[in-house]
Structure 1
Amino acid sequence: MQTIRSAIAEAAGSPYWLADARIIQDGALARVDIRIEDGRIAALAPLGTATGGISLDGGQVWPGLVDGHTHLDKGHIWPRMKNATGDFAGAIAAVMADRGAAWTAEDIAARADFALRAAYAHGTVAIRSHIDSYLPLARTTWPVFAELRARWAGRIALQMSSIAPLDRFAGPEGDELADLVQKHGGALGMVTRLTGGIHAALPAEFQPMLDHFFSLAEARGLDLDLHVDESGETGARALREIALTATRRKFKGRIQCGHCCSLSLQPDEFAQETIAALAEAGIDIIVLPMCNMYLQDRMPGRTPRWRGVTLVHEMRAAGLRVSLASDNTRDPFYAYGDLDMVEVYREATRILHLDHPMGAWPDAVSAIPAEAMGLKGYGRIQAGATADLILFSARGMTEWLSRPQSDRIVLRAGRVLEAKLPDYRELDAVLGVSPG
Structure 2
Amino acid sequence: MTPTPDFATVTDRYWLTHIRIPLGCLDPSISWTLPIPDLAAPPWREELVAAHLAIEKGMIVDLIPAHHSPPMDAPTWDLRQGLVWPCFVDSHTHLDKTHIWPRQANPDGTFASALAMVRQDYTHWTAADLRPRMDFALRCSYAHGTQALRTHLDSLGPQGPTSWAVWNDLRQLWSDRLTLQAVALVGIEVYGTPEAADLADLVAHYGGILGGAIHNQPRMQEWIEAAFRLAQDRGLNLDFHVDESLDPAEDGLRWVAEAKLKYDFQGQVTCGHACSLSVQTEEQVQTTLDLVKQADIAVVSLPMCNAYLQDRQTGRMPRYRGVTLLPELAQAGIPVALASDNCRDPFFPYGDHDMLEVFSQGVRLGQLDAPFGQWPQAVTTTPARLLGLPQGGHLGVGQSADLVLFQARTLNELLARPQGDRIVLRQGAVIDGTLPDYRDLDGVVSQR
Taking structure 1 as the reference length, the TM-score comes to 0.95
Counterpart in 1 of 2:308? Answer: 294
Counterpart in 1 of 2:208? Answer: 186
- Letter matched to residue 304 of structure 2: M
Gaps of at least 5 residues in structure 1 are 194-201
Gaps of at least 5 residues in structure 2 are 25-45
**Distance in 1 (alpha carbons) for counterparts of 2:145 and 2:409:** 19
Kindly indicate whether residue 212 of structure 2 is the aligned counterpart of residue 206 of structure 1. no
Kindly indicate whether residue 122 of structure 2 is the aligned counterpart of residue 123 of structure 1. no
Residue deviations 1:31-85 (CA, integer Å, cap 9, x gap): 1000101101001101132155111100000001000000000000000100011
Are the counterparts in 2 of residues 254 and 372 from structure 1 also a CA contact under 8 Å?
A: yes
Are the counterparts in 2 of residues 7 and 54 from structure 1 also a CA contact under 8 Å?
A: no
2:193 aligns with one of 154, 171, 185 = 171
Q: Could you say what secondary structure the match of 1:375 adopts? A: coil
Are the counterparts in 2 of residues 8 and 54 from structure 1 also a CA contact under 8 Å?
A: no
Counterpart in 1 of 2:78? Answer: 55
**Distance in 2 (alpha carbons) for counterparts of 1:63 and 1:203:** 41
Are the counterparts in 2 of residues 67 and 128 from structure 1 also a CA contact under 8 Å?
A: yes
- 1:107-256 matches, cutoff 5 A: 107-193=129-215, 202-256=216-270
Give RMSD over aligned pairs: 1.1
Are the counterparts in 1 of residues 424 and 433 from structure 2 also a CA contact under 8 Å?
A: no
Are the counterparts in 2 of residues 68 and 128 from structure 1 also a CA contact under 8 Å?
A: yes
Counterpart in 1 of 2:47? Answer: 28
Are the counterparts in 1 of residues 423 and 433 from structure 2 also a CA contact under 8 Å?
A: no
Kindly indicate whether residue 348 of structure 2 is the aligned counterpart of residue 334 of structure 1. yes
**Distance in 1 (alpha carbons) for counterparts of 2:132 and 2:358:** 24
Q: Could you say what secondary structure the match of 2:176 adopts? A: coil
Residue deviations 1:360-408 (CA, integer Å, cap 9, x gap): 1000000100101111200111111100000001001111110111000
Counterpart in 1 of 2:95? Answer: 72
Counterpart in 2 of 1:199? Answer: none
- Letter matched to residue 6 of structure 1: P
**Distance in 2 (alpha carbons) for counterparts of 1:59 and 1:299:** 43
Counterpart in 2 of 1:196? Answer: none
- 1:391-402 matches, cutoff 5 A: 391-402=405-416
**Distance in 1 (alpha carbons) for counterparts of 2:144 and 2:343:** 14
The number of aligned residues is: 423
**Distance in 2 (alpha carbons) for counterparts of 1:273 and 1:393:** 44
Counterpart in 1 of 2:40? Answer: none
Counterpart in 2 of 1:84? Answer: 107
- 1:315-354 matches, cutoff 5 A: 315-354=329-368
Counterpart in 1 of 2:8? Answer: 9
Are the counterparts in 2 of residues 8 and 416 from structure 1 also a CA contact under 8 Å?
A: no
Percent identity between matched residues is 46
Change beyond 3 A, Cα 1:8–1:332: farther
Kindly indicate whether residue 65 of structure 2 is the aligned counterpart of residue 46 of structure 1. yes
**Distance in 1 (alpha carbons) for counterparts of 2:367 and 2:295:** 27
Q: Could you say what secondary structure the match of 2:346 adopts? A: coil
Runs of 4 or more consecutive aligned structure 1 residues displaced over 2 Å after TM superposition: 6-10
Are the counterparts in 2 of residues 228 and 258 from structure 1 also a CA contact under 8 Å?
A: yes
Are the counterparts in 2 of residues 223 and 255 from structure 1 also a CA contact under 8 Å?
A: yes
